[in-house]
Amino acid sequence: MGVPVLVISGPVGVGKTTVAGEIFDLLLARDVAHAVVDLDNLGLCWPFGEGDPFNDRMALRNLAAVWRNYAAAGIGRLVVARVVESRAKLDGYRAAVPGAEIVVCRLAAEAGTLRDRVARREAGAAGEALARRAVELAGTPATGDAADFVVVTDDRPVAEVAMEVLRGAGWV
C-alpha cells in the first residue's frame, strides 16, 4: 500500500512552510491522519556533508528516521516542505519513505514578492544570500522539472493557497 506524499516546493520566501502549516490545520479539521515535515529543519546542522551544499543527505536520513516513527503511529500521509529542483532528487524521498507516492506542488511568486518576504523574515547575516537564492530559484521554469502542478501565492490568503494545493494533489 502506497504512502501519499505531498512535496511543497518553490523558491525561498514563496511560503512553503506557511502553506504546509495551513495544510496541517485543514487536514486536522477533516480528521485526516497526516504528518508535516519542514525538511530544511531536519538538515539544520553543521558541518554539511562534503559535496552536499544544502545538506540533503542528512535531511533525508533524518526524514527516514522520523517517518518510521510516524508510520508506526499509524500516520498514512506526509506533507514535506523543501526546495526540489529536479525529479531525480525525489529518489531520496522514496528511499526515506518506503512506498511513497509523491506529488510535487511548486509554489510561485514574483521576484519582488520573494525579496520582500525574505527581507521581513531574515534579519540575520543570511538575509542577502537567501534573497539572491530566492530570485535564482524563481528564475527557473514555472513548472520546473520536478513539479506536477504550480500554485501562485502572490497577494493571496494562505488558506486559499493551501486549499488549492490540496485540491491539486487530489487530497480533498
CATH number at residue 140: 3.40.50.300
pLDDT tens-place values along the chain, 172 residues long = 799 999 999 998 899 999 999 999 999 999 999 999 999 999 999 999 999 999 999 999 999 999 999 999 999 999 999 999 899 999 999 999 999 999 999 999 998 888 887 777 666 656 566 555 655 666 555 445 789 999 999 999 999 999 999 999 999 9
Q: Are 152 and 108 in contact (CB under 8 A)?
A: yes
Structural domain for 45, as ranges: 3-169
Q: How many domains does the chain have?
A: 1
Q: What is the pLDDT of residue 143?
A: 40
Cα 152 from Cα 143, distance rounded (Å) = 11
Beta-carbon count within 10 A of 7 CB: 27
Q: What is the pLDDT of residue 43?
A: 96
Cell of 161: 493557497
Q: What is the pLDDT of residue 81?
A: 98
Q: What is the pLDDT of residue 48?
A: 93
Q: What is the pLDDT of residue 112?
A: 84
Q: What is the pLDDT of residue 14?
A: 94
Q: What is the pLDDT of residue 125?
A: 59
Q: Are 134 and 13 in contact (CB under 8 A)?
A: yes
Q: Are 3 and 77 in contact (CB under 8 A)?
A: yes
Q: Are 109 and 121 in contact (CB under 8 A)?
A: no
The answer to whether the predicted template modeling score (pTM) of the entire model surpasses 0.95 is no
